[in-house]
Amino acid sequence: MAGVMIAAPGSGSGKTMVTCGLLTLLKRKGYNPAAFKCGPDYIDGLFHRRVLGVENGNLDSFFETGTHMRQKLSRSMEHHFVVAEGVMGYFDGLGGVSVQGSSFEIGSILGLPAILVVDGRGASLSLMALIQGFLEYDAMLEGKDEEKTHDKTDCDAECAAGMQYEECRKRRWKENEENYREKKSHTSNGLHGCVCGNTDCHESKDKKNNNIRGIFFNRMSPMIYNRIKPMVEELFRIPVIGYLPELNFLHVGSRHLGLVLPDEIDGIREQLEQLADRMDENLEWEPLLKIAAEAGGRDREVPVREEAGAGQQTGNVAGIKPGNKLGNEPGNIPHFRLGIARDEAFCFYYEDNLRAMEQAGARLVYFSLLHQEKLPDGLDGLILGGGYPENHGEALAANRTMRDSVAAAAASGMPILAECGGYLYLLDSLEGADGTVYPMAGVLKGHGYRAGKTGRFGYITLGPNRCLPYLREGEEIKGHEFHYWDCDCGEDEFCMTAAKPKGGRSWPCMRTAKQVMAGFPHLYYPSCPGLVRRFAGQCVEYGQRHDRKHDRQERNGQEHDGEEHEL
């Protein structure tokens, strides 16, 4: 078992490129790597899978329970050297004021040692202060602003009895300072536990340094690296495992949803091979392998928030049980053909969602809304994922036969789930990135247009306002929103409410028409097994109404109609 997390103080530090370079190098050296992305991001996973050809998935402590994440990671570590790429800054979590959902929380739950990527451009000795801050920061403070969150009921009896706020604030500040000094007096030697000799000390090896086990410098000159490496290792007793200089051959741009897609970058594979060459020259393998060997080495008793992945099943995430409408025996799950739109325009899918559908009996049939004339024959359901349809408006509009095929499927009652870009495709029309308005499938009324900014961003929990085709009142499903396009439909069209986990903000979302459920949120299916069961059941029923006779043997299958368009 071996694995590391590649984390950083913030976005733009080089996490993705360091991760991709390391994965390329591990693959070259025969370590059979697998990649995970922390958080809800899709595009980094596309780099991992499409460019590097390695297995990938997401790790997300908002979507998933700790048990589910541990099981997933453990299965991968049986055969792979796991590299997990962190999300945003190391401690950045829900609402920007909590470590919940952060790389730090995920790594702590999983016992996955972190390598902190520090951008060294334009700095030298100041990097020591940054590193010290990340090693010693008390993450349990979660960035709370006492002046805004002070509550007498959270204080001791003295405060509750009437201590003035200013006196209470000063007392709590003094207590925090004393705790910090006590912590400093137990400074760890970084390699052999705590110098105080007490193995139960809160600074013992499994808790020290906020799970950061090594430092890697990005965009640093060899001269500065050779000077600062011994300083870091002597003062903080933490290994510096390598560096990368400024690399002029790397040309990875960005757009409104993050990094550009990998197939849009000329020579990306050659660039990553060059990157791996540089890492091979400047990476210290022995310290890296020693750090990676710590992963999953202990049965860690880490508290997991009950609300994370509420209702989620482990193992069979679809929650298929004997006696339900999908079959009376676990080995007798009826199969159905589920079309998955996957091409340059539609490419955002959580692998856990696809696996959940497979466990519910789906045979995945990948196809292209851009390049094929009509839907594949014999489909029983459709999932239209997110992506960049606005960048392909002209081509999607020109493919009239496919638009008509999707509209006919929806009119026939075929079960369809559509998210963000897939939702925009189902509207009457869409404003393209070029400003031209293009006709779409016309399944749902409305026009998709460029909003100019993202007003809804981040994690959400969704609940139906009434019984829906795949959800019942009182159920919840977790999701994520991030989009710069919007729709001009009225609020009475919406059938669900999305709520932010922090701050109390909410808004209406999701629409239905016959068996279509669509909207901007990207849903995480395993957080609501009932959605998977009902969607699968209705796909089976649709197939039966149309005289489908699919093999009932319990096996997972994937099909590709026409040319390979998967990103």
Residues annotated as catalytic are: 420
d(CA 502, CA 96): 9
- 36 SS3 class: strand
**Do residues 495 and 468 touch, judged by C-beta distance below 8 A?**
yes
d(CA 17, CA 14): 5
DSSP 365: E
| H/E segment holding residue 234 | helix 222-236
Helices 103-110 and 66-77: crossing angle in degrees, nearest 10, is 70
d(CA 213, CA 197): 20
d(CA 548, CA 545): 8
Q: DSSP states of 139-195 as a string?
A: GGGTT--HHHH--GGGS-HHHHTT--HHHHHHHHHHHHHHHHHHHHHT-B-SSSSBT
Q: Which residue, chain included where needed, has tokens 């297995």?
A: 55
What sign does the dihedral 365-369-373-378 (CA atoms) show? positive
- 91 SS3 class: coil
Decide: residue 120, CB within 10 A, 0-12 exposed, 13-18 middle, 19+ buried: buried
Q: Strands 254-255 and 437-439, how do they pair?
A: unpaired
Tokens of 270: 């050659």
Q: Beta-carbon neighbour count of residue 439 at 10 Å?
A: 15
DSSP 263: G
